[in-house]
Amino acid sequence: MNNEISLWIGFNLFVLAMLAIDLGVFHRKSPIVSLKESLAWTGVWVALALCFNLGVWPFAGSGKALEFFTGYVIEKSLSVDNVFVFALLFGYFAVPPLKGLSRHRMPQRAHATGWSPPFSLAQIRDCSRDFI
């Protein structure tokens, strides 16, 4: 039980550190992101997820690692689908791009990713039994 909690705490600290680095170091001034930069950052985050998947393998076995990978691929495809829908809607309603406005809002971004401490604590309680 102690090991499970320490793994979840470590995971949440890692997510918070990556969010702080992303927002506080790399995107401090929040410029308009180009397609090239967007693809590069997507590659970084996908690589981190795959490294995490490699870490799941020794702790939980190949079955759980495959479940994580399958879930990640499904979620990634759904997020790309959402971006496509937003692009269609913004194009249809002629929404102008943001220029000169600060898009650097940490609470909204953390909430948009679905990460919040109470949700993570619920995950620890409900999912840790199945995961490890």
Q: Please, what's the b/e burial string for 79-113 (b: 16 or more CB within 10 A of its CB; e: otherwise)?
A: eeeeeeeeeeeeeeeeeeeeeeeeeeeeeeebeee
By C-alpha distance, which of 85, 79, 51, 77 is closest to 65?
51
d(CA 89, CA 54): 37
* Cβ contacts of 128 within 8 Å, gap of 6 or more: 4, 5, 8
Under DSSP, the state recorded for 23 is: I
Q: Domain map of the chain by residue range? A: 1-32+115-132, 33-96
The model carries a pTM of 0.60
Q: Which of 2-16, 25-39, 73-87, 93-107 has the lowest mean pLDDT?
A: 93-107
pLDDT tens column, 71-120: 999 999 898 888 889 889 988 998 887 665 444 554 444 445 555 555 44
DSSP secondary structure of 76-108: HHHHHHHHHHHHHHHHHTTPPPP-SS----HHH
